[in-house]
Structure 1
Amino acid sequence: MKKVKLGSQGLEVSQVGLGCMGMTKFAGHDVYKKADEKEALLTIERSLELGGNFLDTADQYGPWENEKFIAKAINGKRNQYAIATKFGHEINDQGELTWGINARPEYVKKAAEQSLKNLGTDYIDLYYLHRLDPNVPIEETVGAMAELVSEGKVKYLGLSEVSLETIRRANAVHPISALQTEYSLFERTVEENGILKGIAEMGIGFVSYSPLGRGFITGDIKSAADLSEGDWRLNIPRFQGEYLQKNLDLVKEIGKLAAEKDVTTAQIALAWVLSKGIVPIPGTSKRINLEKNYASADINLSDSDIERLENIIPAGTDVGARYDDHGMETIDE
């Protein structure tokens, strides 16, 4: 897999990254289905074999357990990977989520030191602010992040789920290399509000998380019964009631084009994201899924293919909220 530039500050990553959140428990619960640790470790190893060096984690995942898992996976090969992690969801000294956002300068430094320890490394390739702290000016947060760069503990800075105004203010303090926000055929808000155009003008790269709609666009979900009891997606409007059926029908339409090209629904959706010059980080803990995801980089979509896909789910289509009310409140719009 080829490498691409993420932003204009020098960061290079594989064209498709690997979201690692589902490889460990989250706040004591499995995110989707229980991951097999041995298989997950082999998945990260296989990623590197295929040229995929971009791993995405966060201190919140676990908390801390996902970063520690990554440390185990990259042991002895640290310099071959580009590691992205995030901070902002406050974690107390006992390693427990407080369910608040904390981006005060002193917490930035504390969180970074903990992540470095968890990851078993002395530097982080890409350090994101996970969510904007409404009580702290972004200039103060990014100022503290910039100090981590000057100290050599972080190479590049990123933001997640923030508005274009916030990005501009942050970028004025220190160059931002990447914005990470949800983006898929089902979620195109960053197109509608001008964020993609705005960050391109600033030389900031874009990373798409949940490019498969949290598994929705894989086509593997046929009804609510396919989501096991306790699956957190059941709390999301997009997976509920009339929205669920509407969205299942849309996925079927995407699947028709995939079948014509003899690829999977997931692969056609990832190929669409890649056609935008965006780096997707689909999450999986299984080698077979990873290999299929990475193969999407070899799919060439014509202009008519892209138009067809975008006509199935035009930007602005109401497919249901992507988080519950609390989750939506943490997004800076």
Structure 2
Amino acid sequence: MNFSKIRRLGRSGIATSAIGMGCWAIGGHFTLDGKPDGWGDIDDAQSIRAIAVALEMGGTLFDSADAYGTGHSEAILGQALAGRRADVVIATKFGFTYDASRKALLATDVSPTYIEQALAASLQRLGTDYLDLYQIHVGDLADSVADATGEALERQVALGKIRAWGWSTDSAAAAGRMTKFPHFTAVQQELNVFHDGPDLLALCAQENLASLNRSPLAMGMLTGKFSVQSRLAASDVRAAGHSWVRFFAGGRPRPEVVRRVEAIRELLQTGGRTPAQGALGWILARSPHTLPIPGFKTEAQVRDNLGALDKGPLPTAVMGEIDTVLAAQNDLV
């Protein structure tokens, strides 16, 4: 199989590892709509060690946001990457206002003035004078607001503060409107074995955009570690009662999702893969534009995730078998 461990960040041409590191979990506790939006307890020293392992294994793409821990994720990432700036691709996001003293997200703001403030703060926390990719974190914007935001981001490119920019949205129509801007290069979309995104993938192919893939392991379900008896801590976003958390309910994995994982577990483990590596291999096979960004808190998780680089995309035949099995599972619901 001819598989490159390096992919391009869309039409920017920036080279990055085919699998990145999602830095939401290492941000620690914060709230959204008064509910926990982090991933439970963290150990900053462990986070820094995990990032060092990622660098050793060839991981070069790190995706954060100022919302994650209201700046804490960026600060830890900045510490971990000190002295390695030239070796990595740093992506972060903006758009949520927050009260850092309360670790609370408050509202949204993508105005040009706020972009300047948010960008300056992110650069300081990350210990760099430029970003490789700066992404809009707010998924839905009115057309006029989106245009003003795009113009403001192009100005930041001209100032040398960012190299390229993108949008975390699941709307192909919204993302398509941004392709008129020369430095719009990436869409961050939810993509995993249980949640496909063909419209956005088609747009990425047509416009040579990168597809950064959030929730590539279905919020951990595709690691295969959960059973119907599993119970998550109240401090975990998956137990907080957010309407958009679809794979868990009441702090427990949904039984029908557990059944689907078990139905495809053997297929995901094709070629000696772990379930997580199979799930990431599914994304790598889905499109040459994909860049999955699984989250992590431990060195073991990093080794598992980036181990998928050596395994590569799932074979085409296995992709078809997974489709068949999941279709049968859906018929049973």
TM-score (norm 2): 0.87
Using the TM superposition, give the Cα deviation of residue 162 of structure 1 relative to its aligned residue in structure 2, in angstroms. 4.4
Aligned mates of 1:223, 1:272 — CA distance in 2: 24
Verify: 1:69 aligned to 2:76, yes or no. Answer: yes
Residue 218 (str. 1) matches residue 223 (str. 2): yes
Change (3 A) 1:144 1:229: same
Structure 1 residue 200 displacement after superposition: 1.4
Cα distance in 2 for residues equivalent to 1:30 and 1:9: 32
> Which residue among 4, 12, 22 is the counterpart of 1:19?
22
Distance 1:120 1:164 in 2: 33
State the alpha-carbon separation in 2 of the partners of residues 260 and 201 from structure 1: 31
The correspondence for 1:275, drawn from 256, 269, 285, is: 285
Structure 2 CA distance for aligned equivalents of residues 104 and 263 of structure 1: 45
RMSD: 2.6
- Equivalent position SS for 2:314: coil
- Distance in 1 between residues matched to 2:298 and 2:60, nearest whole Å: 16
Query: Do the aligned residues in 2 keep the contact of 1:68 with 1:118 (CA within 8 Å)?
Result: yes
Residue in 1 that maps onto 2:46: 39
The 3 A distance-change label for structure 1 pair 99 and 187 is farther
- Does 2:162 correspond to 1:154? yes
C-alpha spacing 1:83/1:43, structure 2 compared with 1 (3 Å): same
User: Could you tell me which amino acid in structure 2 is paired with residue 70 of structure 1?
Assistant: L
C-alpha change, 1:37 and 1:143, in structure 2 (3 Å) is same
How many residue pairs are counted as aligned between the two chains?
Answer: 317
Amino acid at match of 2:235: G
Task: Provide the C-alpha distance between the structure 2 equivalents of 1:103 and 1:129, rounded to a whole number of angstroms.
Answer: 8
**Number of the residue aligned with 1:238:** 247
CA change 1:319–1:224 in 2 (3 A) is farther
Contact 2:29 2:235 in 1 (8 A): no
Q: 1:18 to 1:99 in 2, by over 3 A?
A: same
205-214 or 100-109: bigger deviation: 100-109
1:5 and 2:8 correspond: yes
Note the alpha carbon deviations across 1:146-196, whole angstroms, 9 max, x for none.
1110000001111111422222222213331111111001111x21xx221
Q: Identify if the C-alpha distance between structure 1 residues 132 and 208 changes in structure 2 by more than 3 Å, giving closer, same or farther.
A: closer
Structure 1 counterpart of 2:195, from 179, 182, 187: 187
Structure 1 vs Structure 2: percent identity of aligned residues?
Answer: 28
Q: Report the CA distance between 1:223 and its aligned residue.
A: 2.2
CA distance in 2, matches of 1:121, 1:72: 11
Task: Report SS of the residue matched to 2:233.
Answer: coil
**Which secondary structure does the structure 2 equivalent of 1:64 belong to?**
helix
2:168 and 2:188 in contact (8 A); partners too: yes
Query: 1: CA distance between counterparts of 2:224 and 2:152?
Result: 43
In the TM superposition, what is the alpha-carbon distance from 1:91 to its structure 2 partner? 2.8
2:254 aligns to what SS in structure 1?
Answer: helix
Q: Give the Cα separation in 1 of the matches to 2:147 and 2:329.
A: 31
- The CA distance in 2 between the partners of 1:12 and 1:128, in whole Å, is 17
Number of the residue aligned with 1:263:
273
The 1:145/1:268 distance shift into structure 2, 3 A limit, reads same
Q: Which residue of the partner structure matches residue 249 of structure 1?
A: 259
